[in-house]
Amino acid sequence: MSVMKPKRDVGIIGYGAYVPRFRIRAEEIARVWGGADEGVPIEEKAVPGLDEDTVTMSIEAARNALARAGIQPKQLRAVWVGSESHPYAVKPSSTIVAEAIGAAGRANHDSPLLAADWEFACKAGTEALQAAIALVGSGMADYAMAIGMDTAQGRPGDALEYTAGAGGAAYIVGPAENSLAYFEGSYSYVTDTPDFFRREHQHYPQHGNRFTGEPAYFDHTLHAARGLMDELGYQPSDFAYAIFHQPNVKFPQTAARKLGFAPEQIAPGLLAGKIGNTYSGAAMLGATAVLDIAKPGDRILLCSFGSGAGSDAFSWVVTDKILERRGRAPKTAWYVARREVIDYALYARYRGKLVMN
Amino acid sequence: MDLARHWRLKDQRYRLEGTVCAECGAKFFPPRQVCTECKSTNLKPHEFAGRGELYSFTTVSAPPSGHEEFVPYIVGMVKLDEGPLVEAQITDVNPADVKIGQRVEMVTRKLRAYGDDGVIVYGYKFRPIVNGS
């Protein structure tokens, strides 16, 4: 069997979401750059405030995950942050997050902790989640945190500017017996596909336009999701919900249709139309929205995609512990509904697009 | 860049870590080494819960060096539920919606960056309490 699963049963014991409060409407971007005649890929996207970045957003999501998990921060043995927008090129985001949530620091010198930043375009967070599953599954740790968080940038006027949003989620992996959703298995698939990349010292990424579709997003997403379902012997009808990476609204809808999922299976986890593509956060944040409403016994498919390229597909089954835990922190829908619309001028200021010196 | 100074302050900036007097229970933020109530020097670290009430505030439009990019921003005095009065920025709210007496909670945000190549300083700010449901 080629499905990936540790010998020790593990699951998600806590999760937390974060989306910043500012929004820019896609039609406002089209007003500045033209192109509205061709239609816009989403309604609006989330924009971080001046005092927010991947570190501060990860801290809030991580605190939400800890509140739901009900464990002490010093019980964590790993804090891993997946992102393509780490504030430093060299210096981990994860140590700042770990100290802020109380998992690291002088008071914790008797509690070993791993911390590292992960990078794999939009699947950096689920790669960290795979590692957290393995760390807990191996017995090296009882609890590990994996975060996917981004404040993505698109070049002004580029197609990506309509969708490059901000947000993400934190997950704490622990023993299955203490989980709100236990892990059934995962399947990962990667190839060398240069559909989207950003060279060192460059502010904005490059992408292959339509090349980002069939050979990149669809090939990897479909292969990983089918691989997982085949290996576990499941059909789309065995899942209550499915969440896919969402660079826009159309791609995950198309992938779901090709795989045989109904629109209502993916709707609760499809947030891109309201907050944009949150990159490393996208699939993981869609999954927190689903966990906020799922019932015990529901099976959930989570399938990420990262350019470059690869997909991680996971199968989870919700337990009755979800009922007592999900109310302990703000829900994903609350963050999505919290919105302050800004115009392109404020957006340009908040995203550092104005030359000041 | 004062790297050592910022590093020394991270416990209080990241987690609102102050001190509590082991003799009389008085709590202090920022941390003190001598209790102002009973003069004891037996003080232990204490992490504040991060909730309180806005005691007063003002809007800053002529900022000190290093904070120019954030103007206009709100600076408030927050009366923590455990007692101490803390000065901090108020975030996630428009100035017109800030009210004295408002319930607020601690969040960790970017306080400043030392240019494009210097250290980024993170620390506490407060925002109106969210219900999240």
pLDDT in tens, A177-218: 999 999 999 999 999 999 999 999 898 998 988 888 999 999
Tell me if B122 and A60 make a contact (CB, 8 A cut-off).
no
Rounded-to-integer distance, Cα B92 and Cα A4, Å: 42
Per-residue pLDDT at A37: 67
Residues 74 through 133 of chain B touching chain A, CB cutoff 8 Å: 89, 91-92, 94, 107-111, 120, 122, 125, 130-133
Give dist(CA B35, CA B12) in Å, integer. 18
Q: What are phi and psi of A122, to 5 degrees?
A: -85, 0
- Cβ-in-10-Å burial (0-12, 13-18, 19+) of B131 comes to exposed
Rounded distance between C-alpha atoms, residue A267 and residue A257, angstroms: 12
Contact A21 B125 (CB under 8 A): no
Residue B133 domain flag: no
Q: What's the domain count of chain B?
A: 1
The pLDDT of residue A109: 81
In-domain check, residue B35: yes
Nearest-Cα distance to chain A for B25, in Å, is 21
- CA nearest A113: which of A151, A83, A152, A74? A74
Homologous superfamily (CATH) for A10-350:
Thiolase/Chalcone synthase (3.40.47.10)
Range of the domain at B55: 3-128
- Which chain A residue's Cα is nearest to B44? A107
Q: Check if A56 contacts B (Cβ < 8 Å).
A: yes
Q: CA-CA distance, A254 to A275, in Å (whole number)?
A: 19
Residues in chain B: 133
Beta carbons of B3 and B119 less than 8 angstroms apart: yes
Q: Residue A87: is it exposed, middle or buried by C-beta count within 10 angstroms (0-12/13-18/19+)?
A: middle
Is ipTM over 0.85?
A: yes
The span from the CA of A326 to the CA of A315, in Å, is 19
d(Cα B33, Cα B43) in Å, to the nearest integer? Answer: 6
Alpha carbons A42 and A274: distance in angstroms, whole number:
7
Q: Evaluate whether residue B36 is within a structural domain.
A: yes
Read off the pLDDT of residues A39-90 as tens digits, 9 standing for 90 and up: 788 999 999 999 999 999 999 999 999 999 999 999 999 999 999 999 999 9
CB-based contact (8 Å) between B65 and chain A?
no
